[in-house]
């Protein structure tokens, strides 16, 4: 019976995964690749340069765990899926709670939950982002480096190079404040007041899927289950009705201020604050008031 948690880094999501893993098994050990994450735990550090999911999974499999946990990031899900095949294990992604063989996991990006039973000797789970409150802290790792025994083909799919995007402005995924527009904005030009407000707040601009399909904003601005998932301190959806596929993208938002003309729109059920009315009248008013208040101070 051995439990491993695969950590990419000691960031928020990593610490959430570690918290979850520690609850399942206080003797959990960490497996990582390349750089050891700064956590106070035993870290098995595989020496592989560069990201190659199958090779990284092989490293985990080499250690022969019976339970593997990781954060539900793109890489976490990918590596654990590979490891599941290698360990002939059962893999449940985006779990929010576990009890023995039973887990509660997310479907529909989190808009629906599933209670599932895992059958098999080896179990792998990834932890849904922001489902667990962090109880761990960073610290000094006890590193044990090792050379993984890779199989032929493990390194075929590996990162050859990284291309940095020259994105102007704040990155949507990292922004502390996000201002989004939906159908209620009316047109591509309708985003101008939102951009102005975002500029003042140092916020990123997001949009709903309807806006992307209408051709008003690029897909890179889309917030939602199949777009970018955000977790800002404040999320301001404007003219967005709140379909589940959109809400799946902003579950992590700490505060949500909805601006919408429909007081009965589904988004109101997830909002902390709301302003009712026409987006194109309200947003410029907020911008003007913000300028005024800043001018005074």
Q: Which of residues 16-35 bind another protein (CB under 8 A)?
A: none
From 210, 223, 230, 250, residue interacting with another protein (rule: CB under 8 A): 210
| Geometric angle at alpha carbon 126, from 124 and 129, rounded to 5° | 170
The count of chain residues that interact with another protein, using the rule CB under 8 A, is 105
CB atoms within 10 A of CB 163: 5
d(CA 180, CA 152): 47
Is residue 177 part of the contact set for another protein (CB under 8 A)? yes
Site string for another protein, 178-207 (x = CB under 8 A): -----x--xx-------------x-x----
- Judged by CB, which is closer to another protein: 106, or 231? 106
Q: What is the largest CA-CA distance in the chain?
A: 67
Q: What is the separation of C-alpha 217 from the centre of its chain, rounded to a whole number of angstroms? A: 22
Smallest distance, Å, CB 222 to another protein? 7
From 93, 194, 230, 250, residue interacting with another protein (rule: CB under 8 A): 93
Is residue 285 part of the contact set for another protein (CB under 8 A)? yes
Is residue 225 part of the contact set for another protein (CB under 8 A)? yes
Smallest distance, Å, CB 124 to another protein? 9
Is residue 288 part of the contact set for another protein (CB under 8 A)? yes
Site for another protein in 240-259 (CB under 8 A): 241-245, 255, 257-258
Is residue 231 part of the contact set for another protein (CB under 8 A)? no
Is residue 120 part of the contact set for another protein (CB under 8 A)? yes
Is residue 143 part of the contact set for another protein (CB under 8 A)? no
Check: CB of residue 136 under 8 Å from CB of residue 19: yes
Site for another protein in 35-64 (CB under 8 A): 51, 53-54
Is residue 216 part of the contact set for another protein (CB under 8 A)? yes
- Which class for 218: exposed (0-12), middle (13-18), buried (19 or more C-beta within 10 A)? exposed
| Both tokens assigned to 157 | 């799919």
Smallest distance, Å, CB 73 to another protein? 10
d(CA 167, CA 232): 19
- Judged by CB, which is closer to another protein: 116, or 134? 116
Smallest distance, Å, CB 6 to another protein? 14
Coil, helix or strand for 220? helix
- Judged by CB, which is closer to another protein: 32, or 177? 177
DSSP 203: P
| Both tokens assigned to 107 | 């479907």
| Both tokens assigned to 182 | 């939906």
- Judged by CB, which is closer to another protein: 40, or 96? 96
d(CA 206, CA 170): 11
- Judged by CB, which is closer to another protein: 38, or 104? 104
Check: CB of residue 206 under 8 Å from CB of residue 178: yes
Check: CB of residue 282 under 8 Å from CB of residue 275: yes
- Judged by CB, which is closer to another protein: 44, or 58? 58
Check: CB of residue 16 under 8 Å from CB of residue 130: yes
């Amino acid at each position: 019976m051995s439990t491993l948690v695969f950590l990419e880094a000691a960031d928020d999501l990593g610490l959430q995964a570690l918290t979850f893993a520690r609850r399942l098994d206080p003797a959990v050990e960490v497996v990582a690749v390349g750089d050891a994450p700064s956590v106070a735990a035993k870290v098995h550090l595989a020496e592989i340069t560069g990201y190659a999911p199958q090779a990284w999974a092989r490293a985990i499999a080499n250690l022969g765990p019976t339970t593997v946990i990781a954060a539900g990031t793109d890489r976490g899900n990918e590596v654990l899926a590979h490891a599941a095949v290698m360990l002939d294990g059962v893999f449940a992604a985006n779990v929010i709670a576990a009890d023995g063989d039973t887990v509660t996991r997310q479907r529909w990006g989190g808009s629906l939950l599933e209670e599932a039973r895992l059958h098999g000797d080896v179990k792998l789970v990834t932890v849904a982002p922001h489902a667990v409150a962090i109880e761990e802290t960073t610290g000094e790792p006890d590193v044990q480096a090792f050379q993984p025994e890779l199989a032929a083909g493990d390194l075929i799919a590996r990162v050859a190079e990284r291309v940095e995007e020259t994105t102007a402005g704040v990155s949507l995924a990292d922004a502390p404040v996000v201002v989004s527009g939906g159908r209620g904005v009316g047109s591509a030009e309708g985003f101008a007041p939102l951009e102005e407000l975002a500029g003042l707040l140092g916020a990123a601009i997001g949009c709903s899927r309807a806006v992307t399909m209408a051709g008003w904003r690029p897909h890179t601005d889309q917030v939602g289950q199949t777009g970018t998932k955000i977790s800002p301190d404040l999320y301001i959806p404007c003219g967005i009705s709140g379909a589940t596929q959109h809400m799946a993208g902003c579950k992590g938002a700490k505060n949500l201020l909805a601006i919408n003309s429909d007081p009965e729109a589904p988004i109101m059920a997830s909002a902390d604050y709301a302003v009712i009315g026409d987006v194109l009248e309200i947003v410029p008013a907020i911008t003007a008031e913000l300028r005024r208040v800043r001018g005074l101070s």
